[in-house]
Structure 1
Amino acid sequence: MAARVLRPRAVLHRPTIAAFCRPYHSFDHPAPSQAFTNSEHALLSAAYEHVPDHGFSHQALTLGAKDAGYPDISTSILPDGAFSLIRYHLVTRRQALARTSQTLWGEESSGSKASVADKVERLAWERLLGNTAVIHRWQEALAVMAQPSYVPASLKELARLADDIWYLSGDTAVDPTWYTKRGSLATIYASSELFMTNDKSAGFADTREFLQSRLGAMLPPSRRTTSAGGPLDVSDRPGNSRSEAACDGGGGGPTADG
């Protein structure tokens, strides 16, 4: 009688909720790894002080390395060169929005909540103001970001900015509008940023008017509801609050790596 060959049975793993949750990328919900190493952060933060005078350039990096006590050759730890300095600006100014949100609405009472739309506008405006010190250098930065090698990273950071703004504004919807809202906001922010580089009005008043008009078209008055309820707040809809809680309240997309 022939011996029976036993074959290992395939083990089926049931996907858990965690498998479908993308970690939310913001100051309050940091990504698994830091955007910059300690040495990179030290060099870039020192170099950033020279951007107003020297732009997002190798010269600024060299001066920053000297200020931080590194030899000139240390700039070689930044393979993307000047773009690393641009990305440092993008990341740090985006992360600062979490602190801004806490300052503006951290003690918000239940009877005086600002609308989600108003929060979106305010945070987008605060982020634009983050460019004030380097606005005269920002067209140079945009030219670098438009280079094919840096377009993917630039767009990724813009997408993260739009995601952060919606999340910090209290929008926790997980539905098809997740993508359209973020895509629309990213487009509006990018156009407002470009507009700002040519704005000579006091306090960039024209830029804010431009931003408000574009956001007003995206979010008509009928949808300007408070974060306590209404079309933009779906936290009370069946199936959303529990899945959100399982992901620690994170954004990042309604599906895994979708």
Structure 2
Amino acid sequence: MTTRAVQSRLHCVAAPRRYHSYDHPPPPPIFSAAESAILSAAYAHVPEHGFTQRALSLGARTAGYPDISISVLPEGVFSLIKYHLVTAREGLAPRKVSVLGGTENSQLIPIPERVELLTWERLQANGAVNHRWQEALAIMAQPSNIPGALHELALLVDEIYHLSGDTSVDPSWYTKRGALSLVYTSTELFMTNDRSPGFQETRAFLQRRLNESDSLGWAFGSVRQWVGFTASAGVNVLRSKGVRI
């Protein structure tokens, strides 16, 4: 089967529309239905093979596509990492009630605690691939992938604050998201070396960092400052893994 024929097959099926903002029309789908099928199947091979071309090839076969199909994934192996980031982020909303309880119960929980619970829930989604996540960080550090990785980080922290019920529209909107970006990336990195049962040490690390995050508030006063901080925080975390950027 030629590459053109594979492309035609991959894009002929429309994917379900995905939502990020709850107040605006849905954006275009991130993955087509066929891409989702390949990436979903490939993701099952990540624990054994990592975020690699091998996992993608096995996923294509499992989904009923020839190996050449992976050549039309626009971002190669990063597409598999993005699939994890997107599905883990989108999985938070359906689990909100189980994490925070019903509406009445959740209203009794202070917003900072809700943020912690939701952040921890998201981090636990890394559990099955945690031993492969340092590889993923190295791939995300490649210049062509950094914008996409940072964009997903921004979407994640925005989703966490939305689900927490935070409705602030003052300058704290930026400070909170900037601080959580730093806390999340540092905790995610810590987790890759955590061997404690149930990642208990990571949970304690997260709680400490969130308690310290108020001191970061002065650093963020505008969109530009927040975006700049998010970018530098993400890059510095990746550099700390020895990745050259």
- TM-score by length of structure 1 reads 0.72
Q: Does residue 116 in structure 1 map to residue 111 in structure 2?
A: yes
Correspondence 1:188 to 2:187: no
2:74 matched residue in structure 1: 79
Higher relative contact order (CA 8 A, sep 6+): 1
Identity of aligned residues (%): 58
CA distance in structure 2 between the partners assigned to 1:77 and 1:179 by the alignment: 37
The residue number in structure 1 matching 2:199 is 204
Deviation at 1:111, TM superposition (A): 9.0
- Distance (Å, rounded) in 2 between the aligned partners of 1:157 and 1:111: 26
What's the CA shift string for 1:215-248, capped at 9, x where partnerless? 012259xxxxxxxxxxxxxxxxxxxxxxxxxxxx
Residues 47, 64 of structure 1: 8 Å contact kept:
yes
Deviation readout 1:5-31 (Å, 9 max, x if unpaired): xxxxxxxxxxxxxxxxxxx72589773
Q: Quick one: structure 1 residues 147 and 100, their matched pair in 2 at CA, closer, same or farther if it must change by over 3 Å? A: same
Structure with higher Rg: it is 1
Matched, 1:175 2:170: yes
Q: Unmatched 5+ residue regions in structure 1?
A: 1-23, 221-252, 254-258
Contact kept in structure 1, 2:99 and 2:121, CA below 8 Å: no
Partners in 2 of 1:172 and 1:27 — Cα distance?
Answer: 13
Structure 1 stretch displaced more, 129-138 or 211-220:
211-220
Task: Using the TM superposition, give the Cα deviation of residue 183 of structure 1 relative to its aligned residue in structure 2, in angstroms.
Answer: 0.8
Query: Aligned partners of 1:34, 1:66: CA distance in 2, in Å?
Result: 23
Q: What amino acid is the match of 1:117?
A: P
TM (norm. structure 2) is 0.76
1:144 matched to 2:139? The reply is: yes
**Measured at CA, do residues 154 and 112 of structure 1 come closer, stay the same or move farther in structure 2, by a change above 3 Å?**
closer
Q: Secondary structure at the match of 2:104?
A: coil
Describe the superposition over 1:169-227 as per-residue Cα deviations: whole angstroms up to 9, x where unpaired: 0101111111111011011000000000001111111101000001012259xxxxxxx
RMSD of aligned alpha carbons: 2.2
> In structure 1, what is the Cα distance between the partners aligned to 2:138 and 2:151?
17
SS in 2 for 1:206: helix
Residue 77 of structure 1 and its aligned partner are, at CA, apart by: 1.7
| 3-state SS of 1:39 partner | helix
| Pair 1:69-2:64 in alignment | yes
Match of 1:49 in 2: 44
The count of aligned residue pairs is 199
Distance 1:137-1:98 versus aligned 2 partners, 3 A rule: same
The structure with the greater share of residues assigned to helix is 2
